[in-house]
Amino acid sequence: MDADLVTLLAARAGTLGGAVEAALLAQDVPHYRDAARPVLRDRCDRLVAAFVDSARQGGPASFERYVRSIVDERVAEGFALREVQHALSALESLLWPIVVDAGGDTGTVVRRLALVTGIVGRGKDELARAFLDHKEKAEARLASLSQKLLFKGTEPTPEA
């Protein structure tokens, strides 16, 4: 864990949440744009908080769990994978300048950038896995329903 980085990011969490929100509103992400502003802001703040928690722990595990936990909700709301990817990419693009501007020797900056990218990257991997899981389950359900409907009414009638 890089305590100085965590302190820096935690101090800027509110600003980061607002910046992620603004970045999403500037993109072609209809479900985020159509969300009530307090809901959108809360989601952005929770995304930042999950990231800071992972940075505090020094690895991506808690961020991956957070991303996995929001997928059911986003899928149920009709979000496309790319919309949620935009949120993660916006967060990452906002974090890089903070890390670089914080300075330090080259090794420290590179290590911090690697942590940022590693956490967000693993979150994106988990996002893709979770969306694919939903897709596979939906396709299996559709196939099952299709089979039932295809043969409905074709049972032989008993002879009287």
Torsion sign (Cα): 58, 60, 66, 70: positive
Count other C-beta atoms under 10 Å from residue 13's C-beta: 14
Q: Report the candidate in 133, 128, 123 with the shortest Cα–Cα distance to residue 47.
A: 123
Q: What is the DSSP letter of 156?
A: P
For domain 3-151, which architecture applies?
Orthogonal Bundle (1.10)
Q: Kindly state the helix (H) or strand (E) to which residue 132 belongs, with its residue range.
A: helix 106-151
Cβ atoms 130, 71 nearer than 8 A: yes
Q: What is the DSSP letter of 149?
A: H
- Give domain limits for the chain: 3-151
Residue stretches of the chain with pLDDT short of 50:
none
